[in-house]
Chain A
Amino acid sequence: MNEPLTTIDDAQLLQRIAQRDRQAFSQFYDRYAGVLYGTTLRIVNHPDEASDVLQAVFLQIWNQADAYDPSLGRPFHWALTLTRHLAIDRLRSLQRRYRFIEEETGEQDKSASDWDAGPSEFIDEKKIAMIRAAVQTLPLEQRQAMEMAFLGGLTQDEIAETLNQPLGTIKARIRRGLLLLRDGLKGAV
């Protein structure tokens, strides 16, 4: 228990959060609030809405940390899944549809660049650089289809209808894009 929080991994942090350890919660927030806020902002496309969603996400993490099951993925994946679901729900309640924004993925918010949140599995600049490089190699139409599903919560049929493409084409784009990303990330994650 006396181990500095900056040196313990995400799973241990979640265990402590489940025991109502506010400092562990604060540490988890510092590690992932930036990336989860960026994701939320990309989905709902509005800063106030994104802040509300993020607050709800971390409240759920505080209240449901004991429900985290390591066999279903890493802590970041669990937090990201919570974030996606809440953000997509908010987007639907606003009666809007996910808008794909074509932008470079290389730069990060200047104010968030000098974080010192400890040895998170993903918040490692070297790994992030490799990930971004892999994502940059994806054809735009594949990334678009993947994002519309993953962040927009659209089904394959809705994506095909929105992009006015045959269903088979959408399936192929998603499959090829995700496999390509997996292969490009080998060694990074």
Chain B
Amino acid sequence: MSRRGPDYGKSWHKFSKNYLSQVGLGVVALVAFVAIFAPYIAPYPSHAGFFVDYPEAHESPNWVHIFGTDQFGRDVLSRIMFGFRYSLMMAVVVLSLVVPLGVVLGLVAGYYRGGKVEMIIMRGADIFLAVPPLVLALSICSVLTPSVFNAMMAVSLMWWPWYTRLVYSISSSLRNEPFVQAAEIAGASPFHIIFREILPNCLGPILTKVTLDAGWVILIGASLSFVGLGAQPPIPDLGTMVSDGANFLPEQWWVSLFPALTIVLIILGFNLLGDGVRDLFAAETV
């Protein structure tokens, strides 16, 4: 059952046949592109920060302001584009912290099955998972000063157990497979076994989860800002925009609706992409 990682050429070929995943990839690439180049392609880059232009306030969508303007006269489209930066940054930072930590913990817990190490790690994970993720994130953010950075730290603090659990279940079931035992008999160190024998078999589920999680992390970030515990005004975070705009429903619906729709778009994109990644790895094990 041991595989040394996927065959990239074949994988890409298979992936390119999957229409829906291509759409997902396209959406994600678009979001990333917009996020990176926001200062250059946004129609009104200065609106992303503190900016006031009351005569232009509350304009409904028109050719000058495609998504309309908010209560301060700021162009909604530009702010959304800058908002993508914060969303993607959250996903990248959180996952970069969480995935290595969570995966390593899961590998170790699965390898040292039945020992104290496993117990400590998995019970710890269970405790963090005892409440819905958002609740824990909210409470952590609430005791700190609300900011983008703190929001990222809070989400990271409660996101790692998911990866630990995922990797643990794979790693502990592989633990007693013949190929692992063969490596042990041959004198391989635990380090080698964990990272060279067991880990490659976890790559598929991990990558799938990372892709799907990007969308969910962005959503949690937006939820935190929505409540007011994440990014603070005037930062154009998508969640903040939705909650600010909610005050002006239903007359100035565009202020709230467009950021909300882009959140949906981002999640959809990552979901489609994630499904494609999953199919990629699933088909390999025939």
Partners in one complex: no
Interface of B toward A, CB cutoff 8 Å: none
Interface of A toward B, CB cutoff 8 Å: none
